[in-house]
A and B are shown apart, each in its own frame.
Chain A
Amino acid sequence: MADGKATGQTILVVGGGLTGLTAAVESAEVGHHVILLEKEPQLGGRVSQHNKYFPKLCSPSCGLEINYQRIRNNPRITVHTLAEVTKIEGQAGNYRVSVRKAPRFVSDKCTACGDCSRACSTEVEDPFNLGTAKAKAIRNAHAFAFPSHYFMDPGFAGSEEARKLVEVCPVGAIELDQQAETLELSVGSIVWATGWKPYDAEKIRPYGFGRHANVTTNMRFERLASPFGPTQGKLVRPSDGKEVRKVAFVQCAGSRDHNYLAFCSRICCLASMKQATYVREQYPDSEVTIYYIDLRAMDRYEAFLKKVEADSQIRWTKSKPARIDEDPATKDPVVVGEDTLTGVRYAERYDLVVLATGMEPMSSSAKPPADGVTQDAYGFVVNDGGPVIACGCSAGPVDVASSVQTGTAAALKAIQTALKAGGR
C-alpha cells in the first residue's frame, strides 16, 4: 500500500469489500497500479460484518487478513477510504474520475493505540453492528479493521468533547479542521464493486420487523453471533435477554417477491442453514425451524445442506409464512402460514425469528455516475462494454466464492481495458 501515480494504466476499483479487494490485489499482483476506493472509513465491506462463512464455518477475518497483507506488501495499491465517486468521464483506457473524500478527523499519524476511544464518553449509532449496539464516537470499526486508523463520527467532530480529545491523542493525529476534498483521478479502467446492502426488513410489514421485539434479520443475527458483537456471541433475544432455544428462520424475506425484491438473493438459504448451526452449537437442546420455498444449495453446497439436514433438531417447513404475530405478554413471535407439503395451517411460537432478508445492490440507489452504464430492473450493473466493469454483488447476488471469482475475472477485463491507453 503506497501512493501510486494515476497513469493511463492505473485501474480504479470502486468498493473495498471482498470483491473489490480481490480485484485490486489480483490486478496489482500482475503488476498494475491500482487505486482502491471505499466509502466507509475502513475496508472489508459486508463480509467483515459476518461471524462465519458457509460451508466451512470459518471466519471472514482469516481471508481478509491475507488480503490486507497483500495490500500492505504491495506498493502498487493506493487505498482511499471515506471516498465516493461523483463523476466519471472519458472512454475506455482514459477515464477522468472525480472522487469526494469525506473528512476522517484523524490523520494517518494515528497508531491505533486506542487512547482516544477509551477517553471518549460519547456513543453513537454503530452502522457496523447494524443498530444492535452503540459505539464510541471515535473508534476503529471493528477488531481487524484496515487501514487501522481511527475515525471520528462527523456529527461528533464539532463537539466540545472532540476538542478535548485532541489533547488525549499522544501523537496529535486528531485534526478537527479536516475538510472534505475532491480528488481528480485519471485512470485506464474502472471496476465497480460497490456490493450490496441488506434489504430494509421494515418494509415487509406482515413480518413485523421493527414492531415485534423478537423478530430480527440475518445480518443482525450475524452480529449477535459474533464474539465481537453486542453480546460477545451469546445468542439471546432482544426483548428480555433470554437464551434462544427455539428459533425460526424465514427464507425469502424480501426476495423472490414482487412486493419487495423480485430476484432470488441466492445466499440466504445457505446463510440460514449456517445460522441454524450457530443456535444448535450454542444450545444443544435447541430447536430450529427453517421455512422455505425452495432450498437453493447449489452445486457442491449440497454437502452443507446434507450436513445440516443430518441434525434432527432442525426442521424444514416448505412454506412462505404469511405473517408473524407477537404475543403481547411474552413477546414471543408466532409464525403463521400453510405447510405446503401437508396443507396444514400452522401458528408456531418461537423465542426468536430470523428473517433471511435479501441483498439489495448498492448500485440501485448509488448508481455509477457515468453515461452509458446499463442497469437491470433491480439496479444490478450489466457488463455490456460500458464504462464500468461490474463484479460481485454489483452484477448480481452472489456468494463469497463467486464474489472473489468474479472480482478476479473483472481484474483481467480491467487490465485489458487499461491497456487500450498503452503508449499514449
Chain B
Amino acid sequence: MEKKIGCYICKGCGIGDNLDVGALESVARKDQKIPVVRNHEFLCGSEGLELIRKDMESEGVNALVIAGCSPRAKVDEFRLGAALMDRVNLREQVLWVQPVAEGDDTAEEDRQMAAVDYLAMGCVKVKKMDAPIPFEDPGFSKDILVVGGGVAGLTAAKNIADTGYKVVLVEKSDDLGGMLSRMHKVSPTKPPYKDPEENPIAGLIAAVKGNGAIKIHTGATIKKTAGAPGLFDITIVKGGKESTERVGAIVVATGFGLYDAGKLPAQLGHGSSPDVITSLQFEEMAKAGKIVRPSDGQPAKRVAFSLCAGQRSTEHLEYCSGACCVYSLKQALYVKEQYADASTYLIYQEVRTPGQMEDFYRKVQDEGGVFIKGDVTQVAKGAGGGLSVEVNDKLLRGKEKLEVDLLVLAVGMTPSLDTVDPNKASPVGAGEFDYTKSVLNLDYRQGPSLPELKWGFPDSHFICFPYETRRTGIYVAGPARRPMGIAASVSDATGAALKAIQVVESVARGAAVHPRAGDLSYPSFRKEGCTQCKRCTEECPFGAINEDDKGNPLFNPTRCRRCGTCMGACPQKIISFANYSVDMIGSMLKEVEVPEEDEEKPRILIFACENDAYPAMDQMAQNRAKISPYVRVIPLRCMGSMNLVWVADAMSSGYDGVLLMGCRHGDQYQCHNVRGSALAEIRLSKVSETLDRLQLESARVRMVEVNIMDADKLPEVINGFVDDIMEFDPNPYKAF
C-alpha cells in the first residue's frame, strides 16, 4: 500500500501561542513534501482526533506525524489505527525546556529552530519507516516442553494442560515426583500455619499421568534444543533411542541438587558416625516410618538439627537456601509426632521463618523445640550410643553440649542446570561439548547453557521481571532458578507456565515479548553486504542469532526481543527493522539544520534510551527546567542499537558534540536489554579513532548513565556538556 503521510500539529498547551505554527506547517508541506498538513487547537480532543480520522478515511492518510506532546502522553487518544506514526515532542522537548523572556528574539528564534528540526526529523522518520509485517511460520507450535518431573515441573505441566495447551514432559529418572517424592510431609501453606501438610506429590503425579494433554517421557534426556520460540525442535533420548518434538516454549524445572555433605567442615561430624545424616536422609527415614539411630536402630528421640550446614559460608555455599529453617521446623515435628517425650534442638544462625511461617516457628517452640543460636563445633560419641554435640552457644556465651541420638545437617541446595557466566568468553569453538552435561543442549551460537546470574543459578537479574531470562521462551522455575522451598516452587512454576503460554501466543501473533511486548518488527539483513564479522551474533544479549557455516548470521525472529543491538553492532549497517534502521536515524540527524560556524550556535546531538533517559527528560520538562536550545534529542530503542556510524555522521554533518544517555551498566545493570548500554560504552571507546581520523577532540562524544529518576540532575548533565563543547572550536566540518 502506498504510504500517505499526514502531519498534524497541535496548538494546545501553549504551542500555538509560542511557536510559529504556520512556519512549521510550511516546513512539513514544502521542505518535507508531506501531502496532508493540518493544525488544531486541541488535537487530542474529540474534534482534533476526528480531523485525523476523517483524513485517514477520505484522504487515504495511513501514516501520521503528530506534533504536540510527548509520545508517552495521550497514547490512547492517538491510537488511531495508523500502521506508522511518529510523535514529535514539541511540548516537553521544546516549549517546556526553552522558556523565552519577553522580547528575547534570539531565544525565540532558537526555540523555533528546535521545533523546525524536530518536526523535520519526525517527517523523515515516518518516510523511512515501513509497517512491520509480522513474522509467520507455518510450523509454529503452541505445545510446551516441561523439563523436570518434580513438584515444579508437574505443577507447570498440569497448569499448562489445564489452560488448554499440550505438554511434553521430560524427566531424566524413571519415575515422576523428584525430590518431593522422597519426602514425608510438607510445611504448612494454610492457616493456622501450624501443622505439616500431607505430601501432595502422589496426587500431582496421578493428575499429570491421567491428563491426556501431557505426553510423558521418563528416563529421558534432551540431546538438543534447536530452533526458537514457536519452533523449538527437541531431540529427546530415551533408552538410547532418539525422538523429536516440536514445541513453542520451554519450562525448565530441574529442581536442585544437595550440597555434598562429604565436603562439609569436619566439626559438623558428617562421616564420623552413621547418626549424623542430611536433612534429605532424615525425610526419607520419616517417610519410611520409624525415626531411629542408623547405627543401632534404637529410637531417635533426641534430635539436633544443624541449620545452614555449609551455607552462608565463603568456603561452601555463599547463599542461604531459603527453605531449610522452615523444613527443619517440620522435621522437628516429625520427631514429636513419633515420640511424645522427644527432645529437639535447632541450632541456628538466624531463624528465617518469614511471613506466616512465624506461626510455624512458634508451634515448634510450643511443642518443646529448643532453639540455640550458635554453631556446632564438635561431634563426638556420646554416652549410651548417642552423639555428643558441642555447640558454641552465642546467647549463653559459651560451649554447651547436647546429648542426642541424631544430628541432622540442613545442607543447602545446589543449582541443577548448566549455566555459563555471560561475562566470560563465549564457549563457541572451545571444543566438542559433552551433551550429557547439559540439560537443554541449546543449539545456540552463544552456547548450549543458560546464562548465569550468580552462584550457578540462571535467575533473572530483574527485580520487577523475575521470569526474564536471556533466552526468550525458556523459563526456569523452582529451585533451578533460585533456591526456594516447595510452596514457592509451586507458585513459581505456575507463573512460568503463564509465561510459556504467553510466548506461544505472542509468537503466533508475530509479536515480541517483554520488554517490547507486542512489537511486530524484527531484524533482517542484507546478506551480500555481510563480512562475516560475527559481531551481531556475539553481541545479541538474547542469543537470538545463530551462524551458518560461512559465518553469516541466521536470525531467529522469535528469539528476538527487538532491542536492535545487532543493528548497532553491525559495521556494515546492513541489519535493520522495518520501522527502525541505521538509515532512519542517520537521515533524521542529517535533517537537523546545522547553523554556520559564524552564527556561534553549536548543535549537539543527544541519543537517549527511550526506556529511562527519555522519560527522565519528560519529567525534567514537567519541572520546567531550562535546557540549552542547541541540543537535539533522538530516542533510541536501546543504547545497544547505537551504531557508531551515527556518531561519524553527526560529526561530519557539523554537530559539535554527541551525548549518549544510557542506563546503568555493570553488575547492577538496569538495561532492560541486559547489555545495551554496556555495549554502547564499549563501542564508544573505539570512537576516538574515528574522531582522530577527522582530527576532532574525542571529548566531543560522551556517554552518561541516566536513571529514570534523574530529572533533577539532567539539566546539569545536558547544559554542562553543552558548556564543555563550547570550550572547543566549532566543528570544522560545518563548512562541508
B75 — nearest CB in chain A belongs to which residue? A72
Q: Which residues of A contact B707 (CB under 8 A)?
A: 58-59, 62
Q: Which residues of B contact A264 (CB under 8 A)?
A: 353-355, 357-358
Closest B residue to A65 by beta carbon equals B615
A412 and B394 contact, CB distance less than 8 A? no
**At the interface, yes or no: A380 with Cβ under 8 Å from chain B?**
yes
Of the stretches B332-340, B454-462, B597-605, the one at the interface is B454-462
Contacts across chains A and B counted by CB atoms under 8 Å: 234
The contact of A112 among B73, B190, B350, B463, by CB within 8 Å, is: B73
**B359 A263 Cβ-Cβ under 8 A:** yes
Q: Which residues of B contact A300 (CB under 8 A)?
A: 319, 454-455, 457, 459, 482-483
Q: Could you tell me if B499 and A109 are in contact, using CB atoms closer than 8 angstroms?
A: no
How does the 8 Å CB contact mask read for A380-418 relative to B, with 1 for contact and 0 for none? 101010000000000011101110111111011101100
Q: Kindly identify, within residues 72 to 102 of chain B, every residue whose CB is under 8 Å from any CB belonging to chain A.
A: 72-76, 79, 91
Q: How far is the CB of A235 from chain B (nearest CB, A)?
A: 16
Q: Is A170 an interface residue (CB 8 A)?
A: yes
Asked if A232 lies at the interface with its beta carbon under 8 angstroms from chain B, I say: yes
- Could you tell me the distance between the alpha carbons of A340 and B162 in the complex, rounded to whole angstroms? 52
Known A1-B75, A62-B707, A377-B192: A409·B355 in contact at CB below 8 Å: no
Partner of A228, one of B454, B515, B615, B709: B709
- Closest Cβ neighbor of A411 among chain B residues: B498
Chain B interface size, as a band, is 35 or more
Contact A53 B463 (CB under 8 A): yes
Contacts known (A58-B664, A299-B320); A380 close to B356, Cβ less than 8 A:
yes
- List the A side residues contacting B454 at CB < 8 Å: 300, 303
Q: Is the CB of B611 within 8 A of A343?
A: no
From A58, A70, A114, A171, residue with most partner B Cβ within 10 Å: A58
Q: Which residues of B contact A1 (CB under 8 A)?
A: 75-76
Contacts of A406 in B (CB 8 A): 491, 495
Chain A residues within 8 Å of chain B by Cβ, number: 88
Indicate if the CB atoms of B612 and A65 lie closer than 8 Å.
yes
* Complex Cα–Cα for A384 and B191 (A): 11
B518 and A73 form a contact (CB under 8 A): yes
Q: Is the CB of A56 within 8 A of B668?
A: yes
Residues in A neighbouring B459, C-beta threshold 8 A: 300
B465 at interface, CB cutoff 8 A:
yes
In this assembly, does B711 line the interface, its C-beta being within 8 Å of a C-beta of chain A? yes
Contact of A29 with B506 in the complex, beta carbons under 8 Å = yes
Q: Which of A80-88, A125-133, A206-214, A289-297 contacts B (4 or more CB under 8 A)?
A: A289-297
Q: Is the CB of B497 within 8 A of A412?
A: yes
A113 within 8 A of B: yes
Q: Is the CB of B467 within 8 A of A405?
A: yes
Does residue A63 face the partner (Cβ distance < 8 Å to B)? Answer: yes
B69 CB within 8 Å of chain A: yes
Chain B: CB-nearest residue to A412: B498
**Residues in B whose Cβ lies below 8 Å from that of A111:** 12-13, 44, 69, 73-74
Residues on the A chain within 8 Å of B499, using CB = 26, 408
The answer to whether A171 and B394 touch across the interface, beta carbons within 8 angstroms, is: no
B612 and A62 form a contact (CB under 8 A): yes
Least CB distance, A192 to chain B, in whole angstroms: 15
Query: Which chain B residue shows the least CB distance to A30?
Result: B502
Residues of A within 8 A of B488 (CB): 402
Find chain B residues with CB under 8 A from A299 CB.
319-322, 482-484
Interface residues of A in 94-112 (CB under 8 A from B): 109, 111-112
Asked whether A170 and B13 contact (CB < 8 A) given A296-B352, A300-B457, A400-B463, the answer is yes
A144 within 8 A of B: yes
Question: In the bound complex, how far is the Cα of B159 from the Cα of A416, in angstroms?
Answer: 8
Q: Could you tell me if A302 and B670 are in contact, using CB atoms closer than 8 angstroms? A: no
The answer, yes or no, to whether B351 is at the interface (CB within 8 Å) is yes
Given A411-B498, A419-B164; A294-B352 close (CB under 8 Å): yes
**Residues in B281-304 with C-beta less than 8 Å from chain A:** none
Asked if B163 is at the interface of the complex by the 8 Å CB criterion, the answer is yes
Closest to A266 in B: B354
Would you call A298 and B352 a contact (CB within 8 A)? yes
- How long is the Cα–Cα vector from A61 to B615 in the complex, in angstroms? 10
Contact A148 B670 (CB under 8 A): no
Cβ-based interface call for B395 (8 A): yes
Residue with the highest number of chain A CB atoms closer than 10 Å, among B12, B351, B517: B517
Closest to A293 in B: B351
Residue A116 lies at the interface, judged by CB distance under 8 Å to chain B: no
Q: Which residue of B lies closest to A70 (CB)?
A: B517
Residue B193 CB within 8 A of the other chain: yes
Q: Does the CB pair B709–A227 fall under 8 Å?
A: yes
DSSP majority for the B interface?
loop
Known: A143-B619, A412-B495. A294 touches B611 (CB 8 A): no
Q: A63 contacts B395, CB within 8 Å?
A: no
Q: Which residues of B contact A416 (CB under 8 A)?
A: 159, 162-163
Using A111-B12, A295-B350 as known contacts, say yes or no to A405 and B464 having CB atoms under 8 A apart: no
What residues of B have a CB within 8 angstroms of the CB of A226 in the complex?
709
User: Counting CB contacts under 8 A, is A329 at the interface?
Assistant: no
Nearest B residue (CB) for A413: B494
User: Which B residues are CB-close (under 8 A) to A382?
Assistant: 190-191
Q: Which residues of A contact B505 (CB under 8 A)?
A: 29-31
* Chain A residues positioned under 8 Å from B14 (CB to CB): 113, 170
Q: Which of B72, B190, B397, B498 touches A408 (beta carbons < 8 Å)?
A: B498
CB distance from A225 to the nearest CB of B (A): 11
B14-51 to A contact mask, C-beta < 8 Å, 1/0: 10000000000000000000000000001011000000
Provide the residues of chain B in CB contact with A366, threshold 8 Å: none
Chain B: minimal CB distance from A422 (Å): 9
- B466 — which chain A residues lie within 8 A by C-beta? 401-402, 404-405
In this assembly, does B538 line the interface, its C-beta being within 8 Å of a C-beta of chain A? no
Partner of B356, one of A74, A75, A376, A413: A376
Give the residues from 13 to 67 in chain A that come closer than 8 angstroms, CB to CB, to chain B.
Answer: 18, 25-27, 29-31, 53, 56-67
Q: Which of B353, B622, B670 contacts A143 (CB 8 A)?
A: B622
Contact in complex: A26, B709 (CB < 8 Å): no
A197 nearest CB across to chain B (Å): 17
Closest Cβ of chain B to A230, distance in Å, is 14
Contact among B395, B482, B708 for A65, CB-based, below 8 A: B708
Would you give the shortest CB distance from A337 to chain B, in whole angstroms? 15
| Residue in contact with A63 in the complex, picked from B74, B397, B465, B709, CB distance below 8 Å | B465
What is the CA–CA distance of A303 and B466 in the complex, to the nearest angstrom?
17
- Shortest Cβ distance from A267 into chain B, in angstroms? 9
Whether A256 sits at the interface, judged by CB under 8 Å, is: yes
Nearest CB in chain B: distance from A54 CB, A? 8
Cβ contact within 8 Å between A62 and B711? no
Given contacts A70-B517, A263-B358, contact A59 B709 (CB under 8 A): yes
A119 interfacial by beta-carbon distance below 8 Å: no
Question: Are A302 and B319 in contact, with the CB atoms below 8 A?
Answer: yes
How long is the Cα–Cα vector from A265 to B142 in the complex, in angstroms?
A: 40
Closest to A63 in B: B464
The 24 sampled A-B contact pairs (Cβ below 8 Å) are A27-B498, A29-B513, A29-B518, A58-B463, A62-B612, A63-B464, A69-B611, A70-B518, A111-B12, A111-B13, A112-B73, A143-B711, A144-B619, A171-B42, A228-B712, A264-B353, A298-B320, A299-B482, A342-B397, A374-B191, A378-B356, A382-B191, A384-B190, A397-B354
16 additional contacts (CB under 8 A) given A111-B44, A256-B358, A397-B354: A56-B670, A58-B664, A64-B464, A72-B72, A73-B518, A266-B354, A296-B354, A300-B455, A300-B483, A341-B394, A401-B463, A401-B466, A404-B465, A405-B467, A408-B467, A409-B494
